[in-house]
Amino acid sequence: MQKVTDGPYTLHTLDNGLRVVIERMPHVRSAAAGFLVRTGARDETPPFAGVSHFLEHMMFKGTARRTWRDITVDFDRMGSAYNAYTSEDRTIYYGWVRKADIGKQIELLADMLRSTLPASEFETEKKVVLEEIAMARDNLEHRAFDFLQEKVFAGHPLAWPVLGYEDTVGPLTRDQMGEYFEQRYAPDNVLFIVAGNVDPEQIIGFAEKHCGSWAVSGVAAKRVPPDIHGGTDVLTVERFKQQVVALTFPSISACDERAETAAAAATILGGDNSRFFWSIVQKGLAPRAGAYHLEYTDCGLMMLYGICQPENAEYLLEAMRVEADRICTERVREHEVERVKNKRRTSLAVESETPYYRLTQLMDDMEYRGAPRTVEQMLAEVDAVTADTIYDYFQEYPVNADGHLASAGPRRWPVVD
């Protein structure tokens, strides 16, 4: 397939559909490689909730050429900073190494992704995943977020937790996982990205050599945008000491060109030095109160979130609603916008320093925009945010409507009929 070079980027697609994106960073000493598999919790069916995440664990358990032990030893022989994670809509595997080791790193990651899902390891690894689920259940915020998603996205695959449930992971068989793996880990559903001090020609050669024979599945992702539900839902867990209060509202998706505007809006409302910080945290009402723009490929949520003493929950909610109403009805001030933009410029400069951060940015760019963005292009999008664009955003996606209220903690509040 034709290779395209554009500034520091090289884009190439293998004959089997695997897309390769490379960013040259000649000033660094390291390089990072990663595979993004376009599969996650939202691609599962209810009886198999958690299979994407469990499968991610199994990718470390053995291939035709390596045992699980060989895989971990080979990573550590390079001194790689490596890991994997699963979200609602993607599963990512990466390794960050010294530049001389990038070829070995790519070979290892590529081999891992052709896992044989060894039967001898399946039940042992299932125990690990069940421990991870137990650990998450000891974390109030983790439980509150899972609960929120369950209610806001009710009836849609985004509703269940990435980790799944004990009663879906527990009965899962290796054959069921194998079928999911065959469909979802085909090269036309995978993106391969490398950033760092590398030679693009050499990287393409590695990709051809190690991934060129991967068979196409022809199974396209069947994703349907969710309905976003309002209402009030309460999760009572008496053993926790604090109460989570979360208001959520529909917002733009990660693919929307107004993503920087939504992020800036969230920062003004609930980031550092934000309205929430001064009117809630610095009033001693709650140690944490923030606004977060949650992005998915085809939908988004603006979440106003705080955690407080249970008896303060209604005061926290009221304080969040007051600020939410104000930001929807009055234009934010230009100096607030400038502050956020200035900080964003610094964070982009920091993130552009290391191959690992660039890897994650490139994954987002490719998934959400279909092409990599230079730091200059990102800065231009930051510069385009104004008080007017933020005002327009809130006119279309108001956060002073009812939205969805989730409350989680020891207090049964608010009382819902």
Q: How far is the CB of 206 from other proteins (least distance, A)?
A: 19
Three-state SS at 195: strand
- Per CB under 8 A, the list member of 3, 65, 283, 412 interacting with other proteins is 283
Find the helix or strand (DSSP H, E) in which 290 lies: strand 288-295
Q: Where are the beta strands (DSSP E) in 318-403?
A: none
Residue 416 in the binding site for other proteins (CB under 8 A): no
Stretch that binds other proteins, among 14-22, 211-219, 332-340, 389-397 (CB under 8 A): 332-340
Between residues 72 and 202, which has the closer beta carbon with respect to other proteins?
72
Among 335, 370, 376, 415, binds other proteins (CB under 8 A): 335
3-state secondary structure of 94: strand
81 binds other proteins (CB under 8 A): yes
Contact between 97 and other proteins per CB under 8 A: yes
**Residue closer to other proteins (CB basis): 14 or 264:** 264
Cβ proximity of 59 and 113 under 8 Å: yes
- Shortest Å, Cβ 297 to other proteins: 28
Q: Per-residue string for binding with other proteins, 115-154, x by CB under 8 A? A: --------xxxxxxx-xx-xx-xxxx--------------
CA dihedral 303, 306, 310, 314 (to 10 degrees): -70
Among 46, 47, 213, 278, binds other proteins (CB under 8 A): 278
Query: What x-and-dash track marks residues 222-261 binding other proteins by CB under 8 A?
Result: -----------------xxxx-------------------
In this complex, which beta carbon is closest to other proteins, that of residue 135 or of residue 416?
Answer: 135
Residues 16-35 that bind other proteins (CB under 8 A): 27-30
We find the least distance from the C-beta atom of residue 44 to other proteins, in angstroms, to be 20
User: Is position 333 an interface residue for other proteins (rule: CB under 8 A)?
Assistant: no
Sign of CA dihedral 238, 244, 247, 248: negative
Residue 349 binds other proteins (CB under 8 A) = yes
Q: Does 63 bind other proteins (CB under 8 A)?
A: no
Q: Under rule CB under 8 A, which residues in 354-373 are in contact with other proteins?
A: 354-356
Q: Could you say which DSSP state residue 222 is in? A: -
Binding of other proteins by 80 (CB under 8 A): yes
Instruction: Enumerate the β-bridge partners of residue 67.
Output: 62
Instruction: Specify the residue, 252 or 359, whose C-beta has the smaller distance to other proteins.
Output: 359
State how far the Cα of 322 lies from the Cα of 2, in Å rounded to an integer.
55
Extended strands (E) in 115-237: 190-196, 231-236
| Terminal C-alpha separation, the chain | 61
Place of tokens 């104004």: 386
Q: Is 345 in the site for other proteins (CB under 8 A)?
A: yes
- What part of residues 169-208 is at the interface with other proteins (CB under 8 A)? none
Please provide the DSSP assignment of 18-57 as one string: -EEEEEE-TT-SEEEEEEEES--GGGS-GGGTTHHHHHHH
- Asked whether the beta carbons of 306 and 286 are under 8 A apart, the reply is yes
Choose one: 15-23, 151-159, 289-297, 339-347; the region binding other proteins (CB under 8 A). 339-347
Instruction: Report which of 273, 295, 277 is spatially closest to residue 287, judged by C-alpha positions.
Output: 277
Taking every pair of Cα atoms in the chain, the longest distance, rounded to a whole number of angstroms, is 64
Q: Which is it for the CA torsion 104, 106, 111, 115, positive or negative?
A: positive
CA dist., res. 246 & res. 89, Å (int): 22
Closest separation in Å from C-beta 99 to other proteins: 8
Residue 279 binding other proteins, by CB under 8 A: no
Smallest gap from Cβ 220 to other proteins, in A, equals 33
- Do 326 and 258 meet the contact criterion of CB atoms below 8 Å apart? no
Report d(CA 62, CA 68) in Å as an integer: 5
Closer residue to other proteins, CB minimum distance, 4 or 135: 135
By CB under 8 A, name the binding residues for other proteins: 27-30, 60, 68-69, 71-73, 75-82, 96-98, 101, 123-129, 131-132, 134-135, 137-140, 239-242, 272-273, 278, 281-284, 286-287, 307-309, 335, 338-340, 342-347, 349-350, 352-356
